[in-house]
Amino acid sequence: MQLKEIPVTGIPYDQIKIEKVPAAPEYCERPAELIPSANRAVVINPNRTCMPLGAMWAVLGVRKAIPFVQGAQGCTTYVRYTFCRIFKEPAVIATASFHEDAAVFGGRRNLVEGIRNLVVRYWPELIGVVTTCSSEIIGDDMVSFIKMARANLRKEIGPEKADRIPIVLVNTPSFAGSHVEGYDRASRAFVETLATTKGEPNGKVNIIPGLFYPGDIREIKHLLRHMGVEAIVLFDISDTLDAPLEPPMSVPYYPPGGTAVGEIRDMANSLATFALQPHAGQAGARYLERKYGVRAVVGPPPVGVQGTDAFLKALREITGKPIPKSLLQERGRLVDSLADTLHHTMMKKVAIMGDPDIVLGVTRFVLEMGMEPVALAGGTASKTFVHDVEAILAEAGYEGEPPLIINGGDLFEFEEYLKKQPRLDLIIGNSRAVDISRELQVPLVRVGFPIYDRFGYQKRPIVGYRGGEMLLAEIVNSMLDYQYPDDRTQQL
């Protein structure tokens, strides 16, 4: 039965049937000059999201911290919805709730009253103020506003209690950059605001993981634990965005874990700072290096054999701790798995999309498998992405057809290029590539942010040797599940 309009009572789910009717019976080739995103005034199927999201992600990795968004309600609602879809966890994010009056007269009153309400109701240990496009465009003087908010708190709850709650400002105009840059800016803002004094060396290393999932951070901690290295993990979401359900829960509820404020203050006394994702965390690492002489080790992402090797060798050099046999055995198991599956992965054509650091890490790993990348799409424009890709290909001795490198473009450009390829065996990327995978009828292996159409991927690591084994198994099984090989070189 077809309805011309939806009744007031609604339609039951069992009666809803949505048919996707193609706009044309077959593929229509687009004008070549309109395919590159640089030649268009519009973005089609974006490969990134807005800058404030990355900053909110970072704040939620701090113990008992709450992001306060200086913008409209939608800026908060969208991010909370996104995090809920991905992590299946409640994300407490406060908002200044901009309306027309704030857009005209500024958001000072919204921030001062909002900070006050947030403190007296939730008593957080830290507040991360995240700006948006609206507050940046109207020119809110955020530094002065925060001073007014603190003065108001001192008057109402007393100087002692008010001064115990640090307020960190992260400027993230969402009309520029992406979520990757938002996280990167947060890494600098936190160490610049909190790590203000140099004291006695603490013998630890700082880890800025970047936009890795809770399962990845747990795997990084596993490597550190076996190395016997103490670390301060900045923006540790391993528990805050993957918390156990242990009723009864106190109100206001804060998930366990997160980086303590005191640990962030102590980061200036560490031996080195590891920014595992150069595009998401390098700013914080470089600041500590310039200000306090804390060595910055920027990348590569510890994905696959070589990426994890580089991470552990740098740890060994800086701390003097040897790489234990237990980790060498994990490495051996990954190498053994690569050898066991080479006949499934060699010469397979693969396209990779997502955040630039995920693309770089996975590209290095698929080259270790003998696969051939045909297109690499980094969603955030970068000054180093193209050079980094070329360096990885040269390092691997890759002699195949050079892949298309999309630096900051959209997925329309990515998809149009893949449609013209004579063969494609696999796509590796996030959930935004689902429709492309179905359109091209090739399997999709999901990695990176966001993954919202599958359950549990936020718990599964891709970093380290054990994460590499899991990712390798996912790649091989996806190809086997999609089309069982019928040629002799690919038999089990």
**pLDDT at 250 (0 to 100):** 83
Mean local confidence (pLDDT), 472-486: 85
CA distances from 62 to 261, 359, 428 (A): 7, 27, 30
Least trusted range by pLDDT, from 232-236, 246-250, 280-284, 464-468: 246-250
pLDDT at 115 over 90: yes
pLDDT at 273 over 60: yes
Cα 39 versus chain centre, distance: 28
pLDDT at 324 over 60: yes
pLDDT at 13 over 70: no
pLDDT at 41 over 90: no
Give the gyration radius of the chain's Cα atoms.
24
**pLDDT at 4 (0 to 100):** 67
As a whole-number percent, the residues of the chain with pLDDT over 70 amount to 94
pLDDT at 488 over 60: no
485 confidence band (pLDDT: 50, 70, 90): low
**pLDDT at 77 (0 to 100):** 92
pLDDT at 269 over 60: yes
pLDDT at 257 over 80: yes
Tokens 């550190």 belong to residue: 224
- In terms of DSSP H, where are the helices of 20-72? 51-59
**pLDDT at 246 (0 to 100):** 87
**pLDDT at 492 (0 to 100):** 54
Higher local confidence (pLDDT), 490 or 302? 302
CA distances from 151 to 125, 162, 224, 431, 492 (A): 17, 9, 42, 45, 70
Mean local confidence (pLDDT), 284-297: 97
**pLDDT at 98 (0 to 100):** 87
Mean local confidence (pLDDT), 87-115: 88
312: part of which helix (H) or strand (E)? Answer: helix 304-319
114 confidence band (pLDDT: 50, 70, 90): very high
Distance CA(46)–CA(411), nearest Å, equals 6
Mean local confidence (pLDDT), 76-88: 94
**pLDDT at 143 (0 to 100):** 95
351 confidence band (pLDDT: 50, 70, 90): very high
pLDDT at 22 over 80: no
Distance CA(272)–CA(361), nearest Å, equals 22
Give per-residue pLDDT as tens, 153-167.
999 999 999 999 999
Let me know: does 258 contact 61? Beta carbons within 8 Å: yes
pLDDT at 20 over 70: no
DSSP 315: H
**pLDDT at 478 (0 to 100):** 94
**pLDDT at 27 (0 to 100):** 74
Give per-residue pLDDT as tens, 386-427.
999 999 999 999 999 999 999 998 999 999 999 999 999 999
- Count CB-CB contacts under 10 A for residue 484: 10
Higher local confidence (pLDDT), 247 or 206? 206
Give per-residue pLDDT as tens, 186-240.
999 999 999 999 999 999 999 999 999 999 999 999 999 999 999 999 999 999 9
- Count CB-CB contacts under 10 A for residue 475: 25
104 confidence band (pLDDT: 50, 70, 90): confident
Distance CA(335)–CA(142), nearest Å, equals 52
24 confidence band (pLDDT: 50, 70, 90): low
Mean local confidence (pLDDT), 232-261: 92
**pLDDT at 284 (0 to 100):** 97
**pLDDT at 486 (0 to 100):** 59
